[in-house]
């Protein structure tokens, strides 16, 4: 029995499970290091997006890797405490719930092909699914003595936003990268993408870098300067490039805010992170919606071109059939005319012979 079970697990599956376990272990430890205000409350929780992407792309069968990687990450960071056992279960349930909702109500890996499915994806993964882990995590945090009822509402909001933003920022990129077909860039498109990224890096350096301290003080640069690059990526490229550009921008925004740079910095770090996550949620969803609308427009154009080609082919076939029918009618008419002429000549000859017979010699 054991041998049969081992044989059923392929080497590819074993490598996938090991890679996912390592990825969730590393991302969990990185996420916990960003918990600068309250335990487990971070500006963005990347494992939330990774879990949803893993379940959508590879199926629900990879849940042991998600659970094990999250557990190892919590245990090595916090020790053998209650939270290290309970929170990974909540993270796995969150990913399973988000993936189930997206698969059944937003077309799974094709969720970014229509604006309607993008809104559904954002609702399921950023609002519905994070509520599971937030409720479990806040309960564990409270009973461990790390929180109080006075600040629980703000902590719940920051926890919920961090998981929702992690799903919104990371899950689309990995789903589009590994689970959905995407357009291969030719040389001019690749050059345009490089120009877009260089421009985005430069603006991010101004808005969220050390120079922002003096520039924002004089109101020279504002965060909306980054938005045109997202719209550029959404209109000119596929949703994959739009999701990647969004990931770069929001990574810069989070780094700058945590280091005291940018327009989202305030005296209360929790408020700063909530405002930052709200900005990421609105702009990120908008970018994916615009990219999906562009995909829909291109698909409609291709369908119209296909219909036009079919109509042109049908018109050409109809014209050709009419030409053939006209030719057949012309031949038939000529044949009838020839037959009539022959009949007339025959009748004339018959009448002439009849007269010759009747004429006496």
Collect all residues with Cβ–Cβ distance below 8 Å to 359 and sequence separation of at least 6. Answer: none
CA distance 124 to 100: 9
Assign 97 a pLDDT band (cuts: 50, 70, 90).
very high
Is the distance from CB of 15 to CB of 57 less than 8 angstroms?
no
322-333: average pLDDT:
82
Domain boundary assignment for the chain: 1-181, 183-323
Token pair belonging to 181: 């077909």
**In this predicted structure, what is the pLDDT of residue 2?**
41
* pLDDT exceeds cutoff 70 at 360: no
CA-CA-CA-CA torsion sign (279, 280, 281, 283):
positive
Q: What is the pLDDT of residue 6?
A: 47
pLDDT for residue 327 is more than 70: yes
* Tens-digit pLDDT profile for residues 175-226: 999 987 777 888 888 899 999 999 999 888 888 887 776 666 666 667 788 8
Q: Is it the case that residue 154 has pLDDT exceeding 80?
A: no
* pLDDT score of 113 more than 50: yes
Residue 3: pLDDT band with limits 50, 70, 90: very low
Is 7 a residue whose pLDDT tops 90? no
In the CATH scheme, what is the code of domain 1-181?
A: 1.10.1760
Residue from 250, 209, 260, 216 nearest 230 by CA: 250
234: exposed, middle or buried (Cβ count in 10 Å: 0-12, 13-18, 19+): buried
H or E segment and range at residue 126: none
Structure confidence by residue, pLDDT tens digits, 215-252: 666 666 677 888 899 999 988 888 888 999 988 888 88
Is residue 1 very low, low, confident or very high in pLDDT (cuts 50, 70, 90)? very low
């Amino acid at each position: 029995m054991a041998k049969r079970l081992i044989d059923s697990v392929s080497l590819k599956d074993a490598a996938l499970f090991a890679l996912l376990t390592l990825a969730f272990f590393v991302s969990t430890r990185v996420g916990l290091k960003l918990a600068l205000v309250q335990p487990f409350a971070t500006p963005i929780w990347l494992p939330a997006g990774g879990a949803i992407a893993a379940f959508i792309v590879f199926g629900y069968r990879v849940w042991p890797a998600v659970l094990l990687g999250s557990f190892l990450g919590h245990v090595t960071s916090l020790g053998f405490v209650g939270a290290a056992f309970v929170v990974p279960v909540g993270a796995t349930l969150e990913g399973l719930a988000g993936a189930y909702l997206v698969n059944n109500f937003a077309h799974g890996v094709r969720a970014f092909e229509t604006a309607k499915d993008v809104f559904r994806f954002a609702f399921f993964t950023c609002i519905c699914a994070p509520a599971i882990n937030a409720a479990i995590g806040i309960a564990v945090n409270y009973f461990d003595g790390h929180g109080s009822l006075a600040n629980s509402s703000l902590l719940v909001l920051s926890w919920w936003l961090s998981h929702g933003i992690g799903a919104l920022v990371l899950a689309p990129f990995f789903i589009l990268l590994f689970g959905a077909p995407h357009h291969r860039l030719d040389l001019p498109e690749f050059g345009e993408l490089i120009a877009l990224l260089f421009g985005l890096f430069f603006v991010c350096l101004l808005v969220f870098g050390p120079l922002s301290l003096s520039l924002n003080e004089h109101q020279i640069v504002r965060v909306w300067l980054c938005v045109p690059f997202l719209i550029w990526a959404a209109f000119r490229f596929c949703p994959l490039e739009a999701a990647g550009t969004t990931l770069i921008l929001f990574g810069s925004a989070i780094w700058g805010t945590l280091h005291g740079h940018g327009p989202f910095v305030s005296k209360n770090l929790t408020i700063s992170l909530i405002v930052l996550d709200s900005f990421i949620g609105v702009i990120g969803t908008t970018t994916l919606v615009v990219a999906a609308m562009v995909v829909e427009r291109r698909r409609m154009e291709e369908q119209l071109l296909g219909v036009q080609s079919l109509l042109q082919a049908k018109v050409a076939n109809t014209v050709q059939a009419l030409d053939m029918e006209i030719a057949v009618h012309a031949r038939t008419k000529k044949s009838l005319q020839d037959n009539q002429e022959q009949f007339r000549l025959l009748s004339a000859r018959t009448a002439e012979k009849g007269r010759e017979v009747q004429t006496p010699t």
